[in-house]
Amino acid sequence: MTTDAKAKAGLEDVVAASSAICYLDGDRGILAYHGHDIHDLVRAASFEDVCYLLWHGRLPNRGELGDLQSQLAAARPLGEPILRLMKQLPASDGMDTLRTLTSALGHYDPDASDNSPQANDRKAVRLTAQLASLVATYGRLQAGGGPIQPDPALGHAANFLYMLTGNRPDALSTRAFDVALVLHADHELNASTFAARVAAATLTDMHSAIVAAIGTLKGPLHGGANADVMRLLIEIGEDSTPDRIDDAIRARLAKKIKIPGFGHRVYRTEDPRATHLRRMSKELGERVGNTRWYAMSQRIETLVKGEKKLNANVDFYSASTYYTLGIPIDLFTPIFAVSRIAGWTAHCLEQYSNNRLIRPRTDYIGPPYPQMVLPVEQR
């Protein structure tokens, strides 16, 4: 492979679209949605606020926020055909189930055959509401419980935790999960968002574009790192001494085994999302009287940063945050989709609004042209 070809591998730093949705500055650790810094949004906005911002380019006023909350509440219940299909599917990975059920949602959507801007706005709301219900209900069934109907009096984050556990979450749990949703809602042209935009650019329906995104997120090089982080913490052991933690991490580093949750394709400084999840992990641990997962994570972060000069990314502290909330590890990647659906649909809407088919070219590195086609007897 030529030096030029290596530089283009993975489209690194290649600008593939113009977008007003998400601004990233990897050198300064900046993430912003429509110009609003992620730190300000975490402090002053809910996930519903962020959904409206991503879809409409501005934060909602009180009346607009109330309307969106009502629309999400109305769309949240799952129809009986979807619940029946969920129960009939063979045991599989949560992302497989989510992909199949999201495709099935398209069959029952009242705007399925309408690709107008108004219909797509409605589909964005429904998909955001319904993906959360799908993942919560799937988790509920996997734990041996029965489906729980959403409570229209609860917000998006609280409803998810309620539908998953059957218990109404306290204020700190709701806040922690809402923050996680805000932080994961969009991240420019990551692999799954790019897949959604490529699909949308063909003018396929929004459900098909979102299925493409879910299939892409399923890949271990995109989603799943937070689940790997939690599995690593459990493998090392909750009661491990500091020396044992250090030995376990150094042994992996010596074998050149990647420590999940560190480094990022874009950020050269701390991932700004990790800043908030680190704090949420600590606060939740203190609330339940178990800060061991947070303490282990902090020690691993210090060691990896010191020896490998790698910063924690969004996945590292989301692992202990979700686990302390009582969320099963198998749901960690599907929950990524519960949040990122806001960004996926926003990018679809933007692509539809000023569309041109996305059709890049390759840098051909095969045999020189022309090659002679020999008769089969001479090959």
DSSP code at position 112: T
Q: Which residues of 173-197 are buried (b: 16+ CB within 10 A; e: fewer)?
A: bbbbbbbbbbbbbbbbbbbbbbbbb
φ/ψ (deg, to 5) at 36: -95, 115
3-state secondary structure at position 263: coil
DSSP code at position 31: E
Active site residue 264: yes
Who contacts 307 (Cβ-Cβ below 8 Å, separation ≥6)? 250, 253
- Choosing from 178, 186, 271, 315, the catalytic residue is 315
DSSP code at position 10: G
Q: What does the alpha-carbon distance between residue 17 and residue 107 come to, in Å, rounded to a whole number?
A: 30
Nearest CA-CA partner of 219 in 337, 346, 136:
337
Active site residue 315: yes
Q: What does the alpha-carbon distance between residue 349 and residue 174 come to, in Å, rounded to a whole number?
A: 29
Q: Hey, which residues does 32 pair with through a beta bridge?
A: 23, 37
145: how many CB neighbours lie within 10 A of its CB?
13
Sign, CA torsion 338/340/341/342: positive
- Choosing from 36, 264, 276, 347, the catalytic residue is 264
Q: What is the largest CA-CA distance in the chain?
A: 78
In DSSP notation, 259-325 reads: PTTB--SS-SS--HHHHHHHHHHHHHHHHHT--HHHHHHHHHHHHHHHHH---B-HHHHHHHHHHHT
Q: Residue 294 in contact with residue 281, Cβ under 8 Å? A: yes
Active site (catalytic) residues: 264, 315
